[in-house]
Structure 1
Amino acid sequence: MSEGMTGPEDLTGDGASELAPDLPAVVEGEDEGTVLVLRALGLGDAVTAIPALRGVRRAWPRRRVLLAAPSEVGAWLQGLGLVDGVVPTTGLEPLRWGEEAEAVTDAPPAGHVAVNLHGSGPESHRILLETQPDLLVAFRSDEAVVPGPDWDDDEHEVDRWCRLVTWAGGRCAREDLRLEPPASRGTHVVVHPGAASGSRRWPADRFAAVVRRLADAGHDVVVTGGPAERELCAEVVAAAGAGDDLAPGGSVSDASGTLDLPALADVVATARLVVSGDTGVAHLATAYGTPSVVLFGPTPPTLWGPAIDPERHAVVWHGEDLVAPGGDVTYLGDPHGDDVDPALERVTVDEVVAAAENLLTGADADA
């Protein structure tokens, strides 16, 4: 850490055996300020950062935690008690956070700690440095003149941010990814055909075939998607022949554009199974312990796959035999590309349905 910067407070108790709770009670008169965390990304990124957010709580148990993130995602995390307030932002916009900090802490945002859970820098580092923190916790950036541990391109997303926060004194691990599961599960299967980019979006006609075969097998299938994905989901439902006669007990419904984030999380948490690409819904399924079939394309599952409970999740990926751009040994496509990735293109309907039925059979046996 740079000269003159104050390190994180010790954990409660002896600093080894005691962990601060996820919701530390800040006693009146003992509030020691604010921790400003930057994670101005989407749902999947937010979920994979949950362990690190819990680590932040443990590193600074007597400080309020503000999260700079998109409004809906931040509000959802605040509703779970993982943060105390939200600084609405998207991407790498300059932060306007003074009023939010004062509203949460009842004091001006002086002497705060900043934690960069957004990226390797230097742009994200500079945005936090502009808030003039007493301490910036971030990966090392020579360009931004910020000390810290080195960034590792080959690290799983959950492990990466846990390593950073643990380095700063806030222990956390993959197990901290867990969210409280529902008291009971429903009868529905979630199929989520959308993704933020075309390279991570399996063809709609194949999703439709999966929906039809699951419904024909007697499952209640709920197709989910955001407001911008209504057209895609309608195409999937129509191609699945949802209006035709289905096997007894089977059904198909389109919930796209009708669910806010808490409602979507509840639908995923109570599902018997989730089928999706590598997107936010898949990470929700991991956190809630909902069995899932996840289709990977440009990014290998070693970097973004289910971080816990491998027996609950089936990862479908065919990048092993592909040569990455540039000739690297490990295939890594363009996660922001417009066209479906070659690895994802190799995924077949038969293998997705087989993986789904295998997990559903296992869930029935465990019930």
Structure 2
Amino acid sequence: MILILRALGVGDLATAAPALRGLRGAFPGEDLSLAAPAWLGPLVDAIGGIDHLVPARELEPLSGAPMNPQIAVNLHGSGPESHRRLLDLEPGKLWAFANRAAGHQDGPGWLDEEHEVRRWCRLMRYYGVPCNEFDLDLNRPDVDVAEDVTIIHPGAKSTARRWPAERYAAVARHLRSAGHRVLITGSDSEQELCVRVSELAGLGPEAVPRTGLAELLGLVATARLVISGDTGIAHLATGYRTPSVTLFGPVSPARWGPPADRPWHRAIWHGTRSERGDLPGPVHPALLEISVDEVLAAGNQVLHAAASK
């Protein structure tokens, strides 16, 4: 049995899809178990190839994981905490980035500015596992959702990565007047923000659906357009090849952006250096440099590019 740790969020798991598929291809007959939050189950299914989901929370002891896996693979971070969670299970081997504090010297060095997809593929290749960085596509879930909608997702994990609600509302108002069916999506904790954007845009309550992850996957898979900040739904748009515009603030798209060779995905960034993405406090200045007109123009560009595919 091979145990993989990636106990993070939607975008983190989506960007690890190529590495997970590399492992599946390298060990076709082995049990692949993924330690990740249980609520990510629909996304695990959309990636495919995982035999068992072991419910896990970030950097907590892996109490539900079996002992002595043949290989423990750290796709979570650079360590030492994540390394130790896996070493506690006494695996036959640990595949991870080198970390002196965790006593793990076998493995490549960590590069802070590396793109997240490339990072985990590089780790896999170090251990002899072929990995295709462009293998990002996701399977569509079997759910009944509205199709051909335009999704505006105003939330993000930190306030530094949230473009102002008033600007999202202005975009929503313009797109609706242009004939788009606009939905405002967000997590349970972001519902108040979603309602505010909807009200400012003059949309009705039906524009703010309460969705689980499976429903969100279904919406994105068939959407006309996705507009969001640097957060998980942007990676879902990449996985479903749905036209998207992603607004970046503290973190450069060179680290978390869509593949550069896809003109139907557009990353907008006015920053000069990449910072931590979980910065507290007000909206990051790089986000405030992005105008409503710039987002609308980018939306038109990605829709045109998608139509020309």
SS of alignment partner, residue 249 of structure 2: coil
Q: How far, CA to CA, are the matches of 1:338 and 1:72 in structure 2?
A: 28
1:282 pairs with one of 213, 218, 234: 234
Residue 204 of structure 1 aligns with an amino acid whose one-letter code is A
Distance 1:64 1:348, change over 3 A: same
AA in 1 matched with 2:208? D
> Hey, what's the Cα distance between the residues in 1 that align with 2:267 and 2:127?
33
Q: 2:153 aligns with which of 192, 205, 220?
A: 192
SS of 1:191's equivalent in the other structure is: strand
After TM superposition, which residue ranges in structure 1, 4 or more long, deviate above 6 angstroms? Answer: none
The Cα offsets for residues 278-310 of structure 1, whole Å up to 9 and x where unpaired, read as 100000000110010000000000000003642
Deviation at 1:272, TM superposition (A): 1.2
Secondary structure in structure 2 of the residue aligned to 1:179:
coil
| Alignment of structure 1 residues 304-343 onto 2, 5 Å | 304-307=256-259, 309-320=261-272, 330-332=273-275, 334-343=277-286
Tell me the amino acid that sits aligned with residue 123 of structure 2. Answer: L
Superposed displacement of residue 59, structure 1 = 2.6
Structure with greater Cα Rg: 1
- State how far apart, in whole Å, the 2-side matches of 1:128 and 1:292 are: 36
Per the TM alignment, residue 235 of structure 1 is displaced from its structure 2 partner at its CA by 0.1
Which among 158, 162, 187 is matched to residue 226 of structure 1? 187
Aligned residues: 305
Instruction: Please tell me whether the aligned partners of residues 175 and 308 of structure 1 are also in contact (alpha carbons under 8 angstroms).
Output: no
Q: Is the 8 A contact 2:7 2:59 kept in 1?
A: yes
* Deviation per residue, 1:299-349 (Å, 9 max, x gap): 0000000036421111110013xxxxxxxxx34255332321111111111
Secondary structure in 2 matching 1:175: coil
Question: Does 2:167 align with 1:169?
Answer: no
Q: Is the 8 A contact 2:249 2:271 kept in 1?
A: yes
State the 1:187 CA deviation: 2.5
1:44-89 deviation digits (Å, cap 9, x = unpaired):
0010001110111123222111111111114530464331111111
d(CA) in 2 for partners of 1:111, 1:216? 56
Query: Which letter does structure 1 place at the counterpart of 2:295?
Result: V
Equivalent in the alignment of 2:12: 45
Structure 1 contact 158–307 (Cα < 8 Å) conserved: no
User: Does residue 55 of structure 2 align to residue 88 of structure 1?
Assistant: yes
Compared CA separation, residues 59 and 216, structure 1 to 2 (3 A) = same
In structure 2, what is the equivalent of residue 254 of structure 1?
208
Which AA in structure 2 matches 1:202? W
User: What does residue range 1-367 of structure 1 map to in structure 2 within 5 Å?
Assistant: 34-78=1-45, 80-98=47-65, 101=66, 109-146=67-104, 147-180=106-139, 186-243=147-204, 253-255=207-209, 258-307=210-259, 309-320=261-272, 330-332=273-275, 334-365=277-308
- CA deviations over 1:15-39 (Å, ceiling 9, x no partner): xxxxxxxxxxxxxxxxxxx111000
Amino acid at match of 2:283: V
CA distance in 2, matches of 1:238, 1:91: 35
The one-letter code sitting in structure 1 at the alignment partner of 2:84 is R
Q: Secondary structure of the residue that 1:207 maps to in structure 2?
A: helix
8 A Cα contact 1:215 1:252, kept in partner: no
Distance 1:206 1:276, change over 3 A: same
The secondary structure found in structure 2 opposite 1:174 is coil
Q: TM-score, normalised by structure 2?
A: 0.93
Deviation sequence 1:233-263 (CA, Å, 0-9, x none)? 00000000125xxxxxxx97111xx211111
Contact preservation (8 Å) 2:78, 2:96: yes
Q: 1: distance between equivalents of 2:263 and 2:133?
A: 15
The CA RMSD measured in Å over matched residues stands at: 2.1
Alignment partners' CA distance in 1, 2:68 and 2:84: 18
Give percent identity, aligned residues only: 49
- TM-score normalized with structure 1 length: 0.79
| CA displacement at 1:226 relative to structure 2 | 1.1
Structure 1 stretch 230-239 or stretch 334-343: which is displaced more?
334-343
